[in-house]
Amino acid sequence: MKALLQRVSEACVTVAGRKIANIDTGLLVLVGIEPQDNEQTAEKMLHKLLNYRVFADEQDRMNKSLTDIQGGLLLVSQFTLAADTRSGLRPGFSTAAAPAQAEALFEQMVVLAQQRHPHVQTGQFGADMQVQLTNDGPVTFMLEVQ
């Protein structure tokens, strides 16, 4: 599983002209699910997302996590993160999980997140989404778990 996390001062997702999710200070996370991913992988990734220290402490060092600051978590499924880009000029998607598997695992991850964190929003799986954000820093990290 891959996750591109971005520390944001605000972010929102719009589908067909209607805003379906928004957060203030927190993390916008694009999630790429691969065929070998399972509930255990989702658990590991969620633990990392909630506890990864990317927010400033009193000395302006990245020592606080999303849990520490009680910020918003906006999870957006993003199958293109799992693309094979090693050769050629067109991405291949055989390295991404099948839509049914990815949707089920993404939904499991969302439920787990909602059980563990008070401020969780999501995009809409499989939809044509417009994602807007103000990247704070900018701070962006690619996380991977197996």
Report pLDDT digits (tens) over 129-141: 999 999 999 999 9
Catalytic positions:
78-80
pLDDT at 62 (0 to 100): 97
| Helix 99-116 vs helix 39-51: crossing angle, to nearest 10 | 40
pLDDT at position 143 is 97
At residue 42, the pLDDT reads 97
Identify the pLDDT of residue 22: 98
| pLDDT beneath 70: ranges in the chain | none
* pTM score of the predicted model: 0.96
Residue 72 confidence (pLDDT): 98
Predicted pLDDT of residue 13: 98
Superfamily (CATH) of domain 2-144: D-tyrosyl-tRNA(Tyr) deacylase (3.50.80.10)
Burial of 135 per CB tally in 10 Å (0-12, 13-18, 19+): middle
